[in-house]
Structure 1
Amino acid sequence: MSEAVTRTVTTPPGLLASLDPLLREWLPRQRWFAGKGRPVTGFDLVAATELLPATAKLGLYHLLVRAHQPLQPGHGGSEQPGDCYQLFIGVREALPPRLAPALIGHVSRGPLAGRTVYEALHDTRPADLLLEALRTQARVGGLRFERDPRQEIRPGLVPRLMTVEQSNSSVVYGDTFILKLMRRVVPGINPDLELPLALAREGCPRVPPPTAWLVAVAEDTAGSSHTPEPYVLGVLQPFVQGATDGWELALRELAKGEDFVAEARAIGRTTAEVHTALARALPTVTLGHVPVRALVDGMTERLEAAVHAVPALRPYAQDLRSAYTALDDLASEGRTWTAQRVHGDLHLGQCLRSPAGSWSLIDFEGEPARPLAERRMPQPAVRDVAGMLRSFDYAARTADPPQPDWAARCRAAYCSGYAEAAGRDPRTEPVLLRAYETDKAVYEAVYEARHRPDWLPVPLAALRRLASADPT
């Protein structure tokens, strides 16, 4: 195995051209593809690595490809810079029936002519190869498989691909580890590796510590005058066997008519412990009037765009703006706030409860649609709190009939739990909290109007409350 993955590799000429027509059809059908609704018109090869030679019975290529797509109407020009995707391409003469759902297509020309290509993460041997490469800290072309030497990775763990992913893919190894593989990737330090590593150094037990990770230096940066930033492609972490995510657990308790107050309080404590550890591990900054004005301007711009896109928001627009102007007014009077690194996309689905009852937080990538530099900026911890408060509201609105009182109890318990661990209650900053919760609900309204119109009443109910004189 080590010989197979530590040698220098070369990519056969014409590889991407031979795959191009198949990938144009296959890629847009994947749940993690970000450019839905626009055709793929071509690809650029960012990097290619042969992990198993295609001359053998089973071949495996690791590709980073940039997809070209037409611009949305009204943006000018014909195409926009494409997103870069990480692909694992398996190569066989023919697929066994168990791999039929993984089919990409049959290659008609080029170096793989006559072979069948497929999504290799469905296959046991390619998944085995990835874990072994991480275990042995392999070097394959531009790929670097790194690991924490203090943590043991036993060989021979049986892999299985999880099928519930949205923006990424995950492989579980023997109920011991989970390998999260980013699909849409950008060069730079990914918070999903950076923050858990920082929390591990602080000894924070609320986030599974990274065991190993996969990075790549893209070949299209060769010859540049600066050192290229690597792509973070995957993170291996301990798998919490038997864990239940907070969203699933909340819906289960709602369906049974059970309270969720104790769990909400525990999640609040967990959030505060993670925030406290992040503030110790990484720099914090003070936000005065100038940065707060920029923050308010961004929120206001998003509201104006949302009112244009979602006419149902118009009756509340003026009162919702007051949530932002109130924050700007406080800053102009000399109020300041501390900003730190935060989770960035916190909701019930990012919280895991172990069978023993302890909670942990996962998926520190932030909102994938936002630029990486923005996701890595220090922000008020209240942003994560607002995301969780909205998540309780969403859970309550899935019940028939909706249970707003259930959400109110959970929101209060979450803030109380946060205060127990942090020594400060988020509700003592009502202006800041209202601004962030409003911004989140505005984003939700646009998303639901575009993708799930039946869910639009959920954020609209919150925005009616937030537009009122007493939005508690």
Structure 2
Amino acid sequence: MPKTAPLRPGTAHPAEPAVPAAPLGALLREWLPRQRWFAGKDRPVTEIGLLSMTELFPGCLHLLVRTGHGTVPAPGGTLPAGDCYQLLLGVREGPAPRLGPALIGRVEDGPLAGRTVYDALHDPRAAHLLLERLRRPGTAGPLRFECDPARPVPGGLPPRVLDAEQSNSSLVYGDAYILKVFRRIQPGVNPDLEVPGALARQGCDRVPAPVAWLRTTRPFEATLGVLQPFLPDARDGWSLALEALASGDDFTGRAHQLGVATAEVHLALAAAFPSGPAGENGPTAAAMTERLTAAAHCVPALRPHVPGLRAAFSALTTCDPGPPAQRVHGDLHLGQVLRAGRDWFVIDFEGEPSRPLDERRDAHSPVRDIAGMLRSFDYAARQSRPWRPEWARRCREAYCAGYAARAGWDPRKKHGLLRAHETDRAVYEVLYEARHRPDWLPVPMAAIERLAVRGD
């Protein structure tokens, strides 16, 4: 029987209200699985536990909660499964109609009895006060508000919530800044803070630089949010690609320019971070095979194709090793790039949130990012009726040509390496779609069939 653990701060602190809120935990156990950014939709929430609770300002609580999901198989037995999530909860005497979609519920017992709680990011007052905390360095219990003094942020900017976010939540302030609030929290520095800051120091203007950020020191060191300049007139690459498909417009010129932009970001990343060893494809092949095994366990449709997919990973150990490993984006696709005027910008360096933070911060082959973008062109082409494989092929060719022109090496000549990384990406997509968007599962499965049988 699922249980709700008492919500109690682990250590008393003047900024932390002592709220033993088991009823609040019960509300959260019902509310969390309904959120788009909740990663455990395919697993029951067996318990809720509080890791940290801080009063940001009157009427707003900052929480880190752990969701339990039973156990997962591990060598020698099982391990507890769970995730840590960041919540900002507004507390009111009664419901507010304008905050209806953000409503979590009414607390029936304890110190918050009779109060209504809601997602505070949807409250303009709470969003305004959060920006004020970010504008001025300071602390609140274990929370640390920090900023770049060379990039001051003006006050009084009206906030609005972005509806397009999936794994996180974002607030836009006055069409000048965007605050990404990370929902699923892991110990360590989030790459979406670390990487844009390092690229800014390299003089790379393809990535908006962070101007302020929020982190915590308890129960572990972690990044909680990042404020960056917002590009109000920019369009994301996914929307632009779908428009081109619908209107019959050519997209190869923009795909070529996107390849150039990707190469420029990779060159700046290689200069900003130490490179990994070259010719070390054995561990990469083993990791890909392990991910395939886990995905096939969860998605039965993948199982008939496992032998052919494993062959793609096995070939990785004998093919051209390609360029040295380096820091990469980690989750590059058309939705992670913006076009403003004639320029492409790269955003969202968090990587795949489902993967461990250490892995996302590790060095990988730059082909990993290239494969992600090539898969994205295929995804876009399959949204068209009828399917437009020739459109995807031309965009893939143009993108690789643009990348080669700037990087000095051609990913198309690294066939075995590119096939393995594209296969690994398609396996990830199958698992993601099966969990979150079952109607989309045929899109990556079509690529799986191609990669497993023909090895293209």
- Structure 1 equivalent of residue 154 of structure 2: 154
1:286 paired with 2:277, answer yes
Q: Quote how far apart the aligned CAs of 1:279 are.
A: 0.2
Query: In the superposition, relative to structure 1, how do residues 309 and 169 fare at CA in structure 2: closer, same or farther (>3 Å)?
Result: closer
1:359 paired with 2:364, answer no
Q: 1:31 aligns with which of 33, 36, 50?
A: 36
The answer as to whether partners of 2:161 and 2:171 remain within 8 angstroms in 1 is: yes
Identity %: 59
- Structure 2 equivalent of residue 12 of structure 1: 17
SS of residue in 2 equivalent to 1:417: helix
- Structure 1 equivalent of residue 240 of structure 2: 249
- Structure 2 equivalent of residue 132 of structure 1: 132
- Structure 2 equivalent of residue 373 of structure 1: 358
- Structure 2 equivalent of residue 341 of structure 1: 327
Q: Give matches, 1:102-113, under 5 Å.
A: 102-113=102-113
1:272 paired with 2:263, answer yes
SS of residue in 2 equivalent to 1:378: coil
Q: Deviations over 1:343-400 (max 9, x none)?
A: 000000000011x221101110111000111111100100000000000001001100
Q: Deviations over 1:90-122 (max 9, x none)?
A: 111113211111111112222222211111111
Q: How far apart, in 2, do the equivalents of 1:99 and 1:75 lie? A: 47
Q: How far apart, in 2, do the equivalents of 1:230 and 1:435 lie? A: 35
- Structure 2 equivalent of residue 240 of structure 1: 231
Q: Which amino acid aligns with 1:213?
A: W
Q: Quote how far apart the aligned CAs of 1:124 are.
A: 1.0
The answer as to whether partners of 2:412 and 2:418 remain within 8 angstroms in 1 is: yes
SS of residue in 2 equivalent to 1:130: helix
The answer as to whether partners of 1:286 and 1:337 remain within 8 angstroms in 2 is: no
Q: How far apart, in 2, do the equivalents of 1:326 and 1:348 lie? A: 28
Q: Quote how far apart the aligned CAs of 1:322 are.
A: 3.0
Q: Give matches, 1:157-168, under 5 Å.
A: 157-168=157-168
Q: 1:46 aligns with which of 28, 43, 51?
A: 51
- Structure 2 equivalent of residue 301 of structure 1: 290
- Structure 2 equivalent of residue 328 of structure 1: 317
Q: Deviations over 1:281-305 (max 9, x none)?
A: 10002133xx421211222233345
Q: How far apart, in 1, do the equivalents of 2:243 and 2:330 lie? A: 26
Note the residue ranges of structure 1 that are not aligned, 5 or more in a row.
1-7, 54-58, 221-228
The answer as to whether partners of 1:9 and 1:140 remain within 8 angstroms in 2 is: no
Q: Quote how far apart the aligned CAs of 1:468 are.
A: 5.5
SS of residue in 2 equivalent to 1:285: coil
SS of residue in 2 equivalent to 1:303: helix
Q: Quote how far apart the aligned CAs of 1:274 are.
A: 0.5
Query: In the superposition, relative to structure 1, how do residues 446 and 123 fare at CA in structure 2: closer, same or farther (>3 Å)?
Result: closer
Q: How far apart, in 2, do the equivalents of 1:208 and 1:153 lie? A: 14
Q: Quote how far apart the aligned CAs of 1:312 are.
A: 5.0
Q: How far apart, in 1, do the equivalents of 2:298 and 2:27 lie? A: 35
Q: How far apart, in 2, do the equivalents of 1:352 and 1:235 lie? A: 18
Q: 2:27 aligns with which of 22, 29, 35?
A: 22
* Farther off after superposition, 255-264 or 80-89: 80-89
- Structure 2 equivalent of residue 4 of structure 1: none
Q: How far apart, in 2, do the equivalents of 1:450 and 1:93 lie? A: 37
SS of residue in 1 equivalent to 2:68: strand
- Structure 1 equivalent of residue 119 of structure 2: 119
Q: Quote how far apart the aligned CAs of 1:451 are.
A: 4.6
1:84 paired with 2:73, answer no
* Farther off after superposition, 275-284 or 60-69: 60-69
Q: Which amino acid aligns with 1:426?
A: P
- Structure 2 equivalent of residue 224 of structure 1: none
Q: How far apart, in 1, do the equivalents of 2:449 and 2:82 lie? A: 38
Q: How far apart, in 1, do the equivalents of 2:140 and 2:434 lie? A: 45
The answer as to whether partners of 1:345 and 1:384 remain within 8 angstroms in 2 is: yes
Q: Give the TM-score of the pair, scaled to structure 1.
A: 0.88
The answer as to whether partners of 1:40 and 1:69 remain within 8 angstroms in 2 is: yes
Q: Quote how far apart the aligned CAs of 1:447 are.
A: 3.5
SS of residue in 2 equivalent to 1:70: strand
Query: In the superposition, relative to structure 1, how do residues 275 and 214 fare at CA in structure 2: closer, same or farther (>3 Å)?
Result: same
The answer as to whether partners of 1:46 and 1:64 remain within 8 angstroms in 2 is: yes
Q: Give the TM-score of the pair, scaled to structure 2.
A: 0.91
Q: How far apart, in 2, do the equivalents of 1:164 and 1:178 lie? A: 13
* Farther off after superposition, 70-79 or 192-201: 70-79
Q: Which amino acid aligns with 1:252?
A: E
Q: Which amino acid aligns with 1:302?
A: R
Q: Which amino acid aligns with 2:343?
A: S
Q: How far apart, in 1, do the equivalents of 2:196 and 2:329 lie? A: 10
Q: Quote how far apart the aligned CAs of 1:314 are.
A: 5.8
Q: 1:417 aligns with which of 402, 420, 426?
A: 402
Q: How far apart, in 1, do the equivalents of 2:311 and 2:81 lie? A: 37
Q: Deviations over 1:416-435 (max 9, x none)?
A: 11112212211121111111
Q: How far apart, in 1, do the equivalents of 2:118 and 2:60 lie? A: 10
Q: How far apart, in 2, do the equivalents of 1:24 and 1:452 lie? A: 22
Query: In the superposition, relative to structure 1, how do residues 52 and 412 fare at CA in structure 2: closer, same or farther (>3 Å)?
Result: same
Note the residue ranges of structure 2 that are not aligned, 5 or more in a row.
1-12
Query: In the superposition, relative to structure 1, how do residues 73 and 427 fare at CA in structure 2: closer, same or farther (>3 Å)?
Result: closer
- Structure 2 equivalent of residue 65 of structure 1: 65
The answer as to whether partners of 1:71 and 1:77 remain within 8 angstroms in 2 is: no
- Structure 1 equivalent of residue 10 of structure 2: none
Query: In the superposition, relative to structure 1, how do residues 254 and 293 fare at CA in structure 2: closer, same or farther (>3 Å)?
Result: same
Q: Which amino acid aligns with 1:11?
A: E
Q: Deviations over 1:311-349 (max 9, x none)?
A: 655665444333222221237xxx574000000000000
SS of residue in 1 equivalent to 2:256: helix
Q: Deviations over 1:217-252 (max 9, x none)?
A: 11x4xxxxxxxx511000000000021110111011
Q: How far apart, in 1, do the equivalents of 2:147 and 2:435 lie? A: 41
1:178 paired with 2:178, answer yes
Q: Quote how far apart the aligned CAs of 1:18 are.
A: 4.2
Q: Quote how far apart the aligned CAs of 1:462 are.
A: 2.4
Q: Which amino acid aligns with 1:432?
A: L
The answer as to whether partners of 2:21 and 2:111 remain within 8 angstroms in 1 is: no
The answer as to whether partners of 1:214 and 1:232 remain within 8 angstroms in 2 is: yes
Q: How far apart, in 2, do the equivalents of 1:375 and 1:368 lie? A: 9
Backbone CA RMSD of aligned residues? 2.3
Q: How far apart, in 2, do the equivalents of 1:16 and 1:264 lie? A: 52
Query: In the superposition, relative to structure 1, how do residues 370 and 94 fare at CA in structure 2: closer, same or farther (>3 Å)?
Result: same
